[in-house]
Amino acid sequence: MKNKNQKKSFAPKKLQTKMLTELAATVKGQAQEDAHDAAANYRIHARKHASTDHAESTYSDQTRLAICYSMLADFTEQGWIVTTQDDRIYVEQPSIEGSGNETEEQIKRRIRKGFEAVSNRQLADPANREFIRRMEASREFEGRTVSVLDLVDDGAELALELEKLAAEPVEKALNSAKEIICPELVECRGDEKCPYTGYRLQDIWRYFRHTWSLEYKLLPGRTLRLLIRNAARPNKPVIGIVLLASPTANLLSRDKWIGWTLEKVISGLLEGRWNADSVGRKLFDAIKSAIKQIRTDDLVPRSALNHPRPEHFFALDQAVHKALQDRARDLQAESTDYLVDIRGMDKSKITNKQWKELSETALFRKKRAEQLIPLLKALGVMKEYGFDKEPGSSLYEALVEKDGRQAVQTALGEIKKVHLASEVADLSVCGAVAPYNMLIGGKLVTAVMASEEVREIYKKRYGKQVSEISSQIKGQRVQRSSDLKLLTTTALYGVGSNQYSSLTLRASRCPELACDVVWTKIDSSTGFTVTHISDETVQMMRNLGIAEYGRRRINSVFGEGSSPRTRQIREGLNLLGINNSELLEQPNKKKVYGCEMFQGAREQLLGFSGFESDTGKISNSAAAISDGWVRRWFLPRIKSQKVLEQLAEFKPIHISESLRSRSEKFSKLRLD
């Protein structure tokens, strides 16, 4: 089995030979340096070569070299080993397997140190330092002197309360705990402010997010920020923070768990869990429904939607090719007298006439044609097998043939597409802040994400929201479901236990609960990541792309493709002549977890059981989940004298001191 942590060649094939020699010599010269010093030296070289003072004829070459230096700085900061051998450069990612007698906690600490190297750089940024200073500075609000630290609970006061609670009998303590812990979910939206401090809720969330070891980045797609506050304590201090984000499109372990894979369909039929007629009908309907969601009148005749022929596919291929050319022209033009894309439009006021005009842009003519081709192919194949007449027997026949399996796979993809965007969310950020992280607060924050309150907040936020991509595909206003049914997340570390481990609350053991709360370890995932590439490096890559192509090819237009940042990095690596698959490959598997918001949620996302009504969609209240958490984890935790002693030592100012210390760690590496 290939060791993913083996040395990988760092060989930018499009870098001039003399520049590659210089790069290797610099790496060799850093062999005896501390990692921080080496990273700082690489960064100095990167910024020198990224200067705009270079002649136009050498700008691209100088920028290529700058990117290489900047990437080596990124790698070194995060614990990668950068070496040379025979004038060749090699990089090696840190492993979770450990070395020698390294414990799981030591491995976690090492990985965390790499994450913090990046987030510390972010904390040292002048804009972020000013933001933190402003949030921590005392100010007058409604006759009181306040700061963001007033939203951090006092450890000593809390410890005194918990010491009394720990001495009570269990049943009495369960009731008394409600006067100490009462989670309240608060959405951070717009300019809404905290009634106790007057700070914007968005700013409060951002402040506490900076206490994480992982760098803070804005995400594309749906993002819903939540504060979990303790309504039982003065000022309702923050217990934890959450960010619900659009789920990753390609996550095989999740898709298998739900049943959105060919293998799961086959096994479900063989095991008798599903009725073949119901499955076949659902798959065929998914294809027909998907076709109806695409504007087609300017692409193929109406007859093609029922009986596609070779000439129709030829016309669609032509449409894709023409749209690609037109899109390149659109991006190169400084200005146009026609609509290019949705940027600059007030999306809340777009009419159906304007959605139709947007569907005619090159970007969405291409997307419409590309999406229609596999759908019409699947429709034709399914009709040949007889899905429109005998869906059950036709399904069995199709599954033994290559074209039939491909058609079924296409239909599954459409079922997934409909539900994934609006009924599944990813816990991109989820955890407790001090001092509640000492009290297993992370499990509380995670558990209450399965509450009815979260589903209601999600529905209120997105219930009337227009789907930007779907509306441009259809050429008219489209609104998606906002019924949150399932959550997924990925543990930050691929080793040891975490707040999702064994996170199960059974209604049979917790009478407060109407149904079980279960976070299931689905599987471990592999894939690609760009978290180790800094924003500074990405900007250099963007500059190189503009220099090479005369325009910016990667734009932050929703619907243009996967994450703009990811596409920009891939383009940058290609312009260096680097195999991006190797350098972006995750070195270690990450643990993936999932949680159904109610019993049977996965069946509804798949739709093969015919159970689509709202009956039985019962979720627990946050209060009930909190009671279950108190019973299982909180009361046993506060029995520990050591925990209470550590809690008593904590003061809100410690958060401020930690942020300042981390910022100062990087300050010596900053270059004016």
- What pLDDT score does 524 carry? 73
In a domain, 443, yes or no: no
pLDDT at 611 over 60: no
> For 115-143, how does the pLDDT look when each residue is reduced to its tens digit (9 = 90+)?
777 788 889 889 999 999 999 999 999 99
- Are residues 541 and 403 part of one domain? no
Local confidence band at 319 (pLDDT 50, 70, 90 cut-offs): very high
Confidence tier at 35 by pLDDT (50, 70, 90) = confident
- Give the pLDDT mean for 318-343: 80
| pLDDT above 70 for 492 | yes
- pLDDT above 80 for 374: yes
What is the number of domains present in the chain? 2
CB 420 within 8 A of CB 257: no
Q: How confident is the model at residue 98 (pLDDT cuts 50, 70, 90)?
A: low
- 645/241 Cα distance (integer angstroms): 25
Q: How far apart are CA 564 and CA 562, in angstroms?
A: 6
| Residue 40 pLDDT | 87
CA 267 vs CA 262, 359, 394, 413, 549: distances in Å: 9, 40, 17, 18, 49
Q: Which DSSP string do the residues of 17-35 spell out, in sequence order?
A: HHHHHHHHHHHHHTTTS-H
Contact 9, 89 (CB under 8 A): yes
Amino acid identity, position 470? S
| pLDDT greater than 80 at residue 27 | yes
Residue 121 maps to a domain: no
Task: Give a yes or no: residue 593 inside a domain.
Answer: no
Domain C-terminal end among 422, 441, 475: 422
- Rounded CA gap, 156 and 162, in Å? 10
Asked whether residue 460 carries a pLDDT value surpassing 70, the answer given is yes
Integer Cα distance of 597 and 487 in angstroms = 7
Mean pLDDT for the stretch of residues 388-412? 97
Residue 471 has pLDDT above 60, yes or no: yes
The 10s digit of each residue's pLDDT in 302-318 is 999 999 999 999 999 99
- For strands 238-245 and 223-230, give the pairing: antiparallel
416 and 534 in a single domain? The answer is no
Lowest mean pLDDT among 55-64, 202-211, 436-445: 55-64
Strands (E), 32-85: 81-85
Domain limits at 578? 8-93+528-550+557-584
pLDDT score of 332 more than 90? no
Instruction: Compute the CA torsion angle 188, 193, 194, 198 (nearest 10 deg).
Output: 150
- Token pair 């090819």: residue: 553
Residue 220 has a pLDDT of 75
Helix 535-549 vs helix 56-77: crossing angle, to nearest 10: 160
Q: Same domain for 269 and 411? A: yes
Q: Please state the pTM of the whole predicted model.
A: 0.88
Do residues 80 and 92 lie in contact, with contact meaning Cβ atoms separated by under 8 Å?
yes
At which of 567, 584, 601 does a domain end?
A: 584
Domain termination site, one of 402, 422, 442: 422
Max mean pLDDT among 231-245, 249-263, 459-473, 539-553 falls in 231-245
**Rg for the chain (alpha carbons), in Å?**
27
pLDDT tens digits, residue range 246-297? 998 888 999 999 999 999 999 999 999 999 999 999 999 999 999 999 999 9
**Pair type for strands 520-525 and 517-518:** unpaired
pLDDT at 344 over 80: no
Residue 248 forms part of a structural domain: no
- State yes or no: pLDDT of 647 exceeds 50: yes
278 and 416 both lie in a single domain: yes
In this prediction, residues 646-664 reach a mean pLDDT of 95
- pLDDT, residue 291, reads 98
Report residue 62 as tokens.
Answer: 């100088």
Q: What is the number of alpha carbons within 13 Å of residue 158 lying toward its C-beta?
A: 29
Say what the pLDDT of residue 565 is: 83
| CB 432 within 8 Å of CB 498 | no
- Residue 415 dihedral angles phi and psi, to the nearest 5°: -60, -45
Q: What percent of the chain has pLDDT over 90?
A: 69
Which one has a higher pLDDT value, 75 or 378?
A: 378
Considering the domain boundaries, does residue 13 fall inside one?
Answer: yes
CA distances from 46 to 51, 60, 69, 552, 668 (A): 9, 13, 5, 22, 17
In a domain, 314, yes or no: yes
Cα(274)–Cα(419) distance, integer angstroms: 19
Task: Report the percentage of the chain scoring pLDDT > 70.
Answer: 92
* Domain annotation covers residue 235: no
Residue 507 has pLDDT above 60, yes or no: yes
Domain for residue 312, yes or no?
A: yes
What pLDDT shows up at residue 668?
Answer: 53
CB 342 within 8 A of CB 558: yes
Residue 334: the pLDDT is: 60
* Residue that wins the pLDDT comparison between 579 and 629: 629
Q: What angle do CA 504, 605, 413 make, to 5 degrees?
A: 125
CB neighbourhood size of 332 (10 A): 12
Q: Token pair for residue 544?
A: 């190189």
Model confidence at 556, pLDDT cuts 50, 70, 90, reads low
Name the least confident of 257-261, 440-444, 467-471.
Answer: 467-471
* Rounded mean pLDDT, 519-525: 85
The whole-chain average pLDDT of the chain stands at: 90
Contact 596, 485 (CB under 8 A): yes
Tell whether 411 and 545 lie within a shared domain: no
Residue 672 has pLDDT above 50, yes or no: no
Q: What single DSSP character describes residue 200? A: B
